[in-house]
Amino acid sequence: MTSGLRVRPARTSDMRAIRALVSPLAERRILLQKEAVAYYEATGDFVVAELDDRIVGCGAVHVLWEDLAEIRTLAVTDEALGRGVGTAILDALVERGRGLGVRRLFCLTFETAFFERHGFEAIEGQAVSPEVYAELLRSYDEGVAEFLDLERVKPNTLGNTRMLRVL
């Protein structure tokens, strides 16, 4: 891991940097771009990685249901790739998930090898029962729509792999 790297909970003042980090990845259809308000609403879900007082990565863990949370918006700057930043962020998010009491973590990703190295396995179909699926349909959250594999988000999720890790 990179010396001097610090992973900490995000603050509202970090949201502009997070959006700037995500924006080029959203343009390449790797991550889903969200409105500014969605980032601010999710501030408590995020952690950031800092190196030399500069944000070089971010990620979020978002509770979907009683025993399930999603790893979202895991991103690292190009210059920090391959330096352990993504692993440090994911480790912090896994610990947050445990602290929240979830037993399973879900992600929707193109980076399957990275997530496999961290205990995630590709899954087919839904990770929830039909009853929970019906409840989740009531959510306005675009990430939940991605999780449910709804048609309206298909253009943004084509080619992604659904992965799950049991804690």
> Could you count the other beta carbons within 10 Å of the beta carbon of residue 102?
21
Contact predicate 8/50, CB 8 Å: yes
68: phi then psi, degrees, rounded to nearest 5: -135, 130
Q: Which pTM does this prediction carry?
A: 0.86
SS3 state of residue 140: coil
What pLDDT shows up at residue 123? 85
Query: Could you read off the pLDDT of 121-160 as tens digits, one per residue?
Result: 998 877 666 676 667 666 667 666 566 665 555 445 556 8
Domains of the chain plus CATH, in order, are 5-166 (3.40.630.30)
The length of the chain is 167
Q: Which two tokens stand for residue 112?
A: 């399957």
SS3 state of residue 122: strand
